[in-house]
């Protein structure tokens, strides 16, 4: 049992270092262009500022977005386009 706990602990520490490394890369990328939203693997986190998407998304919620081809959008989802 202690071997399993030690292995799980080491895995958690390793994953934490990987996440911290990606966060550091995202932060360093924003120093070049401070107006850009940092992204990791093409995913960006944005904060919902207004209540225009209530009741599903409330002000203060965090949305994870990914840049994709606009032609692929269909169905009942939330879409945000910017030029």
pLDDT digit string (tens) for 21-42?
888 877 777 777 767 777 777 7
Domain shared by 29 and 66, yes or no: no
Q: Which residues contact 44 (CB under 8 A, 6 or more apart)?
A: 37, 38, 64, 65, 66, 67
Domains identified in the chain, total number: 2
**pLDDT tens, position by position, 43-52:** 888 888 888 8
- Residues 54, 78 within the same domain: yes
Q: Which domain holds residue 49?
A: 42-83
Residues 49 and 81 in one domain: yes
Q: Are residues 31 and 1 in the same domain?
A: yes
The answer for residues whose C-beta is within 8 angstroms of residue 49's C-beta and 6 or more apart is: 59
65 and 31 in a common domain:
no
Identify whether residues 78 and 47 lie together within a single domain.
Answer: yes
For residues 29 and 3, membership in a common domain is answered with yes
Write b or e for each residue in 23-49: b if 16 or more Cβ atoms lie within 10 A of its Cβ, otherwise e.
eeeeeeeeeeeeeeebeeeeeeeeeee
Q: Residue 81: pLDDT above 60?
A: no
Q: Judge if 47 and 29 occupy the same domain.
A: no
> Average pLDDT of the chain?
78
Q: What percent of the chain has pLDDT over 90?
A: 16
Distance, CA of 70 to CA of 68 (rounded, Å): 6
């Amino acid at each position: 049992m202690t071997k399993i706990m030690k292995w799980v602990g080491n895995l958690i520490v390793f994953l934490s270092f990987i996440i911290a490394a990606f966060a550091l890369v995202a932060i360093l990328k924003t120093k070049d262009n401070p107006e850009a939203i940092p992204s990791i693997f093409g995913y960006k986190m944005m904060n919902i500022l207004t209540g225009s998407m209530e009741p599903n998304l409330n002000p203060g919620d965090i949305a994870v977005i990914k840049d994709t081809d606009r032609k692929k959008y269909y169905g009942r989802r939330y879409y945000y386009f910017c030029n």
